[in-house]
Amino acid sequence: MDIKSVCKGIIDQNQYIAGYIIDPRGCIVYINDTYLNILGMVNEDVLGKHILEISPETRVLKVLESGEAIYGYNWRIKGRNMIASSIPIIQDGRIIGVFAYSVFLDILDAKEMIENLLSQINMYKREISTFHKAKYSFGDLIGNSEEFIKLINLARQIAMHPDTTVLITGESGTGKELLANAIHNRSARSGYPFVRVNCAAIPENLLESELFGYDEGAYTGAKKSGKAGKFEVAQGGTIFLDEIGEMSFSMQSKLLVVLQEREIERVGGNEPIEVDVRVIAATNRNLEQLVSEGSFRSDLFYRLNVFHLEMISLSSHKEDIAQLVKYFIGKCNQRLRINITGVSNNALKCLEQYRWPGNVRELQNALERAMITANMEGNSLLTRRYFGFINPGYDPVSYYKKKDLKTITEEVEQQLIKRALNDANNDILKASEILGIDRATLYRKLKKYAFPVS
């Protein structure tokens, strides 16, 4: 959502409004047809020119300097008496331009219209602040292992260099997006937007307009006022390009130009737009290997790899699992409004022995599942049976390759029955309740698998 686009849309929708927008340098970046008709000019005569060349008596430069709006003053353009207003466009505390317009109405009607316009602009400003804000800080990165602390310290240091491009790599679920959030929130850009783009989730034919925006008439169905891209929305802040390894070769070329020139050009546009953003990219793929295979541009890789942070897999710092478990239980208790006190020693040992192919994300999801189940059963302590999917040393890929579904099902069933009997101290009734089956069914299965029955 872009405030400048909102202003364009407002003045384009009313033929009685003559309006324009200037950038922080005082240059005209947009002017509507009504104003052009009054001036007797065309876009090419005006766009990119300093406002004093077009309107020497203007008050917009005073607004640009002071940051204070000027409302409802008399204004005369080419013999036309009008009521004018100049309003600073402020995004995240920074003046990014001035919105000036004049209306063919009496002063009371003009005041009412101005109030309505300001209300709409403020609404969009609130939406930008809400939707493009980093949610996490370094306090949300949990761990005390030597390797993990070293990584976090490096990230804290690079956060203090707000113009440096960062590349975060690592397996899925290790917390790459969380680290990107933390870097932004720790930096001098923290008061500006944090905009995430999932490069793998957006179709290739839409990714260019999503990143760079588009101008009016760029393609069939395009909004009349155009649309700002993610780079424009992130102005002053950080753009997080997640799954950068999935970006097509052609889009890589266009992104490279943006990183080199620090400016973008909207789809269907012909005017470069300067962008001041920090780029953080992330991927779970080996970009160096992709470069060697010819599917990722080497020059883009070097541009992104200015400072490299590699997230470590959970299996590489299992000593942090106990701390992570405590942290996630506290978070889930608060969010789910339940009261799980912790995990048993046996369950914790089981969690520490598991391979965690999904890393911290898998651990968090496993704990939430276990907590909900335990709470439904009226228990406050997570025992090993709430983590029945875990079998230390178990490699599901190689396991499934060697056995058919029937064999696997029977083996898993035997394991579950054995675990239920252990948890129930061989009490058949309690074990059947744990398994969610009746006693007769359990007896049949015990006989089938030759379990000793007392």
User: What is the enclosing helix (H) or strand (E) of 76?
Assistant: strand 70-77
Instruction: For residue 407, give both structure tokens.
Output: 């064999």
Give CATH 3.30.450.20 domain extents, the chain: 3-131
Give CATH 1.10.8.60 domain extents, the chain: 317-448
Cα(232)–Cα(133) distance, rounded to whole angstroms? 15
Cα(369)–Cα(374) distance, rounded to whole angstroms? 9
Cα(24)–Cα(167) distance, rounded to whole angstroms? 31
Cα(436)–Cα(426) distance, rounded to whole angstroms? 16
Instruction: Output the pLDDT for position 127.
Output: 53
Higher confidence at residue 169 or residue 201?
169
Instruction: Output the pLDDT for position 276.
Output: 93
- Residues 24/65, Cβ–Cβ less than 8 Å: no
Q: Could you identify the residue written with the tokens 């080199």?
A: 260
Q: What is the mean pLDDT of the chain?
A: 84
pLDDT digits (tens, 9 = 90+) for 139-152: 999 999 999 999 99
Give CATH 3.40.50.300 domain extents, the chain: 138-310
| pTM of full prediction above 0.75 | no
pLDDT at 86 over 80: yes
Beta bridge partners of residue 242, listed in sequence order: 198
- CATH architecture of the domain with range 317-448: Orthogonal Bundle (1.10)
What's the start-to-end Cα distance of the chain, in Å? 69
- If one looks up domain 138-310 in CATH, what number appears? 3.40.50.300
Instruction: For residue 264, give both structure tokens.
Output: 């973008």
CATH domain 3-131 topology: Beta-Lactamase (3.30.450)
Nearest residue to 366 (alpha-carbon basis) of 345, 382, 344: 382
- Residues 332/368, Cβ–Cβ less than 8 Å: yes
- Residues 233/128, Cβ–Cβ less than 8 Å: yes
Q: How many CB atoms are closer than 10 A to CB 425?
A: 8
pLDDT band (50, 70, 90) for residue 395? very low
- Residues 82/76, Cβ–Cβ less than 8 Å: yes
Left, alpha or beta for 97 (phi > 0: left; psi -120 to 50: alpha)? left
- Residues 437/423, Cβ–Cβ less than 8 Å: no
Q: What average pLDDT does this structure show over 113-124?
A: 57
What are the start-end ranges of the H helices in 146-282?
A: 146-159, 176-186, 204-212, 230-233, 249-261
pLDDT at 259 over 80: yes
Beta bridge partners of residue 91, listed in sequence order: 94
Burial of 73 by CB count in 10 Å (0-12 exposed, 13-18 middle, 19+ buried)? middle
pLDDT digits (tens, 9 = 90+) for 408-425: 678 778 888 888 888 788
Q: Could you identify the residue written with the tokens 């370094």?
A: 138
For 82, residues 6+ apart whose C-beta sits below 8 A from its C-beta are 18, 74, 75, 76, 102, 103, 104
Beta bridge partners of residue 90, listed in sequence order: 95
Instruction: Output the pLDDT for position 290.
Output: 94
